[in-house]
Structure 1
Amino acid sequence: MKLFNFFIVILLMAVSFSCNKGPKRPDYPQTKKVDTVDVYFGTKVPDPYRWLEDDQSDKTKDWVKRQVAVTNNYLQKIPFRDKIEKRLKEVWNYQKQGTPIRKGKYWFFSKNDGLQNQSVLYVKEGPDGQERVLLDPNKLSDDGTVALADFAISENGKFMAYAISRGGSDWREIFVKEVATGKDLDDHLKWVKFSDISWLGEEGFFYSRYDAPEKGQELTNLNRFQQVFYHKVGEKQEQDLLVFKDSVNPLSNYTAEVDDDGQHLILYGTRSTNNNSLMIKKINDDKWLVADTTYENNTSYIGTVEGKYWVLTDYDAPRYRIMAVDPSNPHIDNWKEVVPEDGNVLKGAYLSNSFAILHYMVDAESRLFVFDFNGEKKYEMELPGPGSVAAVRTIRDDDRAFYYFHSYNIPGQIISTDLDKQTSKVWFEPEVDFDGDQYVTELVFVDADDGAQIPLHIVHKKGIKMDGSNPLMLYGYGGFNIVYQPAFDVRLIPWLENGGVYVNAHIRGGGEYGEEWHQAGTKMNKQRVFDDFILAAEKLIEMGYTSKGKIAVRGGSNGGLLVGAVVNQRPDLFGVALPAVGVMDMLRYHKFTIGWAWASDYGRSDESEEMFKYLYGYSPLHNIKTGVDYPAVLVFTADHDDRVVPAHSFKYIATLQEKYKGDNPVLIRIETKAGHGAGKPVSKAIEELVDMYAFTFYNLGVEPY
């Protein structure tokens, strides 16, 4: 008996030692509750953490500080963080380059030496000229939090107008640089958001902006009455010419584009994230000609061919087609079909001197075809393999073209092609510390109850056992007609190298199969998005890729909503949940910044009792329950996110910490001087990933490297 007791003591000591290696469930900060109650169609809905919507108040800042302290204390105790950070920096440290753009005699391209916080914009005269730095965003701030958000070159390459973002905000400031000398001019435009920059010759450009918001509300105020202006180089913003303002519809956005010939201005209007209006006018005329103001179609200008506008549109073609528009008689009734709708989604079209490159998606993978200007298919371009194409650049007075190609196990390379000779060569190929030949990508379809087939891209090491033992990261988005195609992502390498399976679920709500696939996951169909995702998890378990409790579920923005909803509905499936910058309060999302534009996908809680009840039924914030065993949760948000304001994540985690009494950690990671994701400096991106992987590996019981 004494010997038995001795072994029990040794065992308990070993268990205790093991448990002390890492963090335990933390003690969460107390979050005060208020008596705020909203009434929707007779239903009372408490909102006890409403005060957290004011992210500028001292009380909220104190709450954030306490949450950050608890999260950091937990994450820093995870023993293998340093290994993850070391490997991430190793694999991230390779040269990256962007597809070149030619304007006049100049060629422009971006480049990053490896760990630079922001990519640098270069210019050279001719494709073989001596390159020089035109703009280095890393010199705009000490910490890399000022990013180059957009740029546009005047037609002959004399000037560059460029927009910067500070701290990840959607707000932009536009400056003008002389290309030949690299000198910045005095031009400085403010309160620009959701805007294009379109040059008219070398004299000036069109852009869109809002009136200045009230001080202290820059990151939360409702964005209303966007206006289009013309800015002449060298003049003050106060002198800019107002080109268009809609005084009747405050919740509409407008952007303008100059046509190829510089004779007409094309005006796009949007009232949501989907569908647009189209109007055209001569540059020096005040009369707008209506092309389509139904707001029922997605239409965009491709270029001018023999005096007619080619447009990409889903007008009577949910998978898109190309039509010709006469700019002097542009009404939609007069459009002529050039390339009919295909069985696959036409994602984009790009014009050279003699040809058009059409970019199709087949099961979310890219295919490129070359057409002539009669709309006849000439040939298919050979790609390096199954994957995705981005940043196609054609030259209107030449038949050369460039495009960026990558896939899960093929790092991004730039391909140069001669469309006339039908020849291609690699223009740039990076050297990455990653052997893609050791990994395999599979395309698997799962059958939904209604007959739809949901495509899953699955990536893993060759030769893994399908015995249910593998950790699996399941990613999804499912909204706004957006498609995340197969793409090389250096951020996935630590996961794949440590035996993880990565799955991208192409669920409904996206645009994988056109507008029908998108609409199948919107408004009163939104639950179908969650069902598709849950089905994917169940099928992956059934196929032996993983098992319950070994799945980490990840998504951002609308994907953060997805994660929050499925974790509420099927917490038993997942071991870890990683919702980032998510839309968590489905009853109030439309009250902040640009949230009103999402109603085309979501519907609004104030539009009808039926819509309110539907939103209330899946809203992540409102469906957290007591007595449920939730997975480990790490929420990600940022203090400068003025698209999905951090209040969504604040209120969600406060509610989860209040109601969940189990042992799994439920924490929030709040980044400073960062926004919705775009322009995030490399240093912050790596820090965030180290925390994400440390949290995920630790809570799935995986010790990496």
Structure 2
Amino acid sequence: MPAPGAMAREEAEALAAPVRGPSSYSATTTVQPSATERMPDRAGITTFSLPSYPPTRRDSLIEHQFGEDLADPYRWLEADVRSSPEVAGWVAQQNAASSAYLAQLPGRDALRDKIRSLFAYERFSLPRKAGGRYFYTRNSGLQNQAVLQVREGLEGEGRTLVDPNTWGSEPGQGLRTLDAWVPSPGGSLVAFTQQRDGSDWRTVRVVDVASGKMLDERLEWANDTAIGWVGDSGFLYARYPEPPAGEAYRAQVFDKAIWFHRVGTPQSADIKVFATPDHRDWNHRVTVSSDGRWAIIISSASTLPRRTVRVIPLERGKAQDLTAISIAPEMTDDWKFVEGLGDHLWFITNAGAPHYRLVRVDLDRSGKSSPSLNVVIGETDDTLDAGRIVGNRLILSYLQHGASYAVVTDLKGRPKRAITVGAIGSASGFGGRPGDPETFYQFSSFNQPPAIFRLDTRTGEVTPFAVPHLSFNPDDYVVEQRSFPSKDGTRVPMYVVRKRSLAASSTAAPALLYGYGGFDVALTPGYSAVRMAWLEAGGVFALANIRGGGEFGRAWYDAGRLANKQNSFDDFIAAGEYLIKEGIAAKGGLAIQGGSNGGMLVAAVINQRPDLFAAANPDVGVMDMLRFDRFTSGRFWVDDYGSPSREADWRVLRSYSPYHNIRPRADYPAILVTTADTDDRVVPAHSFKYVAALQAADLGLRPHLLRVEAQAGHGPGKPIDKVIASGADVLAFLAKWTGLALE
């Protein structure tokens, strides 16, 4: 199940049991905003017209929880914006106010043009080989979505297989985007998932590769699913039952199961392969070993890295025996499937190894003996993150100081070579199958869009496959990794990116600080056209690898979750203080940004240190920490946040919940809250309620606005034109209040 935002790169709800104590709706009031004012900026720029906020209904809802009377006057904003005329009207008024304000911002149009130019280069995904064919996506530059293409052999010409940019022509289908895609082993078919309006729900479709014809298959209600082909005529996938009418984007989800679909048959003929009726809340994902001998089912009950592993033997394109064999029956440790060869399966696990190790599980298909486990590569100081078997080699990816690198070993774990790059960045990918003579990987950094390379697994020779042609020179920028002390003395690493000339002159500049700090998600160096526009304008970008993330193993993750969540906030605050103290960020010129769990981070630290920041962009954030488990997949997040139904957890959540800790009469930074109307991972009600509370409080004269994207969700699948428009709005807002001069 997805966390509340990895923000690729990589995302939230949990509440109490039924309320014990009185709750009532009494008279309602409407908060009437003050008239438009004019004031000098925080950064001393020209005076500027500030908006009048739309009126917001305020209800007298009081709940008694664990001895405290708690007001929730904006709970009515939890209604689905797609079905509630009152909420939809309120959102329209908020969007009108923010649009009018953003339209005034100097340099916004120039930013939009700059971001567009930074997207205008040909880019490819990592190729996947199947049956002598190579499959990949290609974007010519400014296409809203990348196009799925196929080549007959590595040197062949690319042929369009699926062009999602044409899907908008079908009426009544919403804004559909191409999500995941997996070719069948022989390369004759490709199964792919469609996303609609940014929702986490997926529809599985199938295309015939030879003819390019879309088949009739429409498999609905898939969510967080992988696709595991069983031969070339069918595949395994995961889906939920159809949700109640009108509740698809808000209701909690239960009873996920693994199903087998034979190509050419209706979804009603699919066979249920695996389910856990005694654990209706469990999430399941399935994959198939490259040799087609085993289906591997990994189950979890939350976003905590604890999973069970079961395998099903496969034969002749079908499940031979639906009785699953348990490899890890208890949900105590993390397991990541690597590959299978015959009756040997390789996994990466943190069982007995907080930084993970590589193990091989030997199976007996007859079921007469239990699986045996052998350690192939033991734990090191660096975190083992991913692995594949390609050719007759293991390719393993490690995390070191928040960046990634890869090593190649034989199947017994004996080192053969390291894959090194001469800059701070991340090498990732390394897909392929046993027997393949090659793999593909990409290198990316803050100043370098992904460049794709082919690695000959036999000789170690590396050749370029797709290297982008850029409108800027990456060498004009410096990427540094620094560290700073947090409140408790813990050293926390942080990347700092800026123009080389700016670093050489030691000149402080407006800075944008980004963070996440949750769900064991590691933030590694990566390229963003929107961030590059900020850098091109002369700003500084910083990324802090705060506690709660997955950059440094289990201890780092545990130090930023549950009762330790304050460490994440302390780390992020300390990062901002360091940037100013070191003369990197200008005083009065520090902006902060984060998405999903990172949006909650940004809102929480604003409440705790409003004086430190000039501007903020909490994006798709989890803002009501006392009700986050009431919606969609929010219950999965209680192992990170705690459960509001337990008093000890509730008191921790109450102490930092952004919605409940706004400080009236404090001088708050300028805040632009961003969300989307079809976000069914972190429902937009979080942002709606938070903004309503901000606008009702006396927080100074800087603006506190809401921008709601239509036909969009938590982030994945957003078309390029929406990315450009929202990026320009957000950066222009942050630039205005940090003093970054835009052309």
With the length of structure 2 as denominator, give the TM-score of the two structures. 0.90
What CA distance in whole angstroms lies between the structure 2 residues aligned with 1:90 and 1:630? 34
1:71-82, aligned counterparts within 5 Å?
71-82=98-109
How far residue 405 of structure 1 moved from its aligned partner, in angstroms, is 0.7
What CA distance in whole angstroms lies between the structure 2 residues aligned with 1:692 and 1:286? 52
1:318 maps to which of 347, 354, 358: 354
2:235 maps to which of 197, 200, 205: 205
Contact 1:308-1:324 within 8 A present in 2 as well: yes
Provide the secondary structure at the position in 2 that maps to 1:228.
Answer: strand
Contact 1:551-1:574 within 8 A present in 2 as well: yes
Unaligned ranges ≥5, structure 2: 1-37, 314-318
CA deviations 1:72-98 (Å, max 9, x no partner) are: 110111132221112111121111111
Counterpart of 1:393?
Answer: 431
2:225 maps to which of 195, 203, 206: 195
Q: How many residues align?
A: 691
**Corresponding letter in the other structure for 2:444:** H
2:146 is the counterpart of 1:119: yes
1:310-349, aligned counterparts within 5 Å?
310-328=346-364, 334-349=372-387
CA deviations 1:389-415 (Å, max 9, x no partner) are: 222223422231110111112221001
What CA distance in whole angstroms lies between the structure 2 residues aligned with 1:325 and 1:439? 46
2:525 is the counterpart of 1:486: yes
What CA distance in whole angstroms lies between the structure 1 residues aligned with 2:234 and 2:734? 50
Counterpart of 1:219?
Answer: 249
Counterpart of 1:621?
Answer: 659
What CA distance in whole angstroms lies between the structure 1 residues aligned with 2:51 and 2:655? 30
What CA distance in whole angstroms lies between the structure 2 residues aligned with 1:142 and 1:562? 39
Contact 1:290-1:331 within 8 A present in 2 as well: no
Contact 1:120-1:135 within 8 A present in 2 as well: yes
1:9-48, aligned counterparts within 5 Å?
23-48=48-73
2:312 maps to which of 259, 275, 281: 281
1:27-426, aligned counterparts within 5 Å?
27-55=52-80, 56-142=83-169, 145-274=175-304, 275-282=306-313, 283-305=319-341, 307-328=343-364, 334-426=372-464
Farther off after superposition, 327-336 or 538-547: 327-336
How far residue 35 of structure 1 moved from its aligned partner, in angstroms, is 2.2
**Corresponding letter in the other structure for 1:605:** P
Root-mean-square deviation (CA), in Å?
2.1
* % identical equivalent positions: 37
How far residue 547 of structure 1 moved from its aligned partner, in angstroms, is 3.8
Provide the secondary structure at the position in 1 that maps to 2:547.
Answer: coil
Contact 1:279-1:291 within 8 A present in 2 as well: yes
What CA distance in whole angstroms lies between the structure 2 residues aligned with 1:429 and 1:634? 36
What CA distance in whole angstroms lies between the structure 1 residues aligned with 2:436 and 2:220? 37
How far residue 449 of structure 1 moved from its aligned partner, in angstroms, is 4.6
Counterpart of 2:639?
Answer: 600
Farther off after superposition, 268-277 or 106-115: 268-277
Contact 2:487-2:571 within 8 A present in 1 as well: no
Contact 1:225-1:246 within 8 A present in 2 as well: yes
Counterpart of 1:511?
Answer: 550
How far residue 672 of structure 1 moved from its aligned partner, in angstroms, is 0.2
2:740 is the counterpart of 1:702: yes
**Corresponding letter in the other structure for 1:241:** I
Unaligned ranges ≥5, structure 1: 1-12
How far residue 259 of structure 1 moved from its aligned partner, in angstroms, is 2.2
Contact 1:478-1:510 within 8 A present in 2 as well: yes
What CA distance in whole angstroms lies between the structure 1 residues aligned with 2:263 and 2:381? 46
Provide the secondary structure at the position in 2 that maps to 1:187.
Answer: coil
Contact 1:280-1:330 within 8 A present in 2 as well: no
**Corresponding letter in the other structure for 1:303:** E
Contact 2:362-2:371 within 8 A present in 1 as well: no
Counterpart of 2:614?
Answer: 575
Provide the secondary structure at the position in 1 that maps to 2:391.
Answer: coil
Farther off after superposition, 83-92 or 669-678: 83-92
CA deviations 1:528-574 (Å, max 9, x no partner) are: 00001111111111111124421110000000000000000001110
Contact 1:145-1:679 within 8 A present in 2 as well: no
What CA distance in whole angstroms lies between the structure 1 residues aligned with 2:45 and 2:539? 25
What CA distance in whole angstroms lies between the structure 1 residues aligned with 2:180 and 2:465? 24
Contact 1:571-1:629 within 8 A present in 2 as well: yes
What CA distance in whole angstroms lies between the structure 2 residues aligned with 1:450 and 1:410? 35
Farther off after superposition, 70-79 or 248-257: 248-257
What CA distance in whole angstroms lies between the structure 2 residues aligned with 1:393 and 1:290? 27
**Corresponding letter in the other structure for 2:398:** Y
What CA distance in whole angstroms lies between the structure 2 residues aligned with 1:38 and 1:126? 65
Provide the secondary structure at the position in 2 that maps to 1:335.
Answer: strand
Provide the secondary structure at the position in 2 that maps to 1:471.
Answer: strand
Counterpart of 1:455?
Answer: 493
**Corresponding letter in the other structure for 2:260:** Y
Higher relative contact order (CA 8 A, sep 6+): 2
Provide the secondary structure at the position in 2 that maps to 1:464.
Answer: helix
What CA distance in whole angstroms lies between the structure 2 residues aligned with 1:588 and 1:172? 26
What CA distance in whole angstroms lies between the structure 2 residues aligned with 1:676 and 1:258? 29
Counterpart of 1:4?
Answer: none
CA deviations 1:485-533 (Å, max 9, x no partner) are: 1112211122112221100000011111111111111101100000011
How far residue 19 of structure 1 moved from its aligned partner, in angstroms, is 10
Contact 1:471-1:546 within 8 A present in 2 as well: yes
Q: How has the CA–CA distance of structure 1 residues 448 and 332 changed in structure 2, closer, same or farther, with 3 Å as cutoff? A: farther
Provide the secondary structure at the position in 2 that maps to 1:337.
Answer: strand
Q: How has the CA–CA distance of structure 1 residues 95 and 118 changed in structure 2, closer, same or farther, with 3 Å as cutoff? A: same
Q: How has the CA–CA distance of structure 1 residues 330 and 136 changed in structure 2, closer, same or farther, with 3 Å as cutoff? A: farther
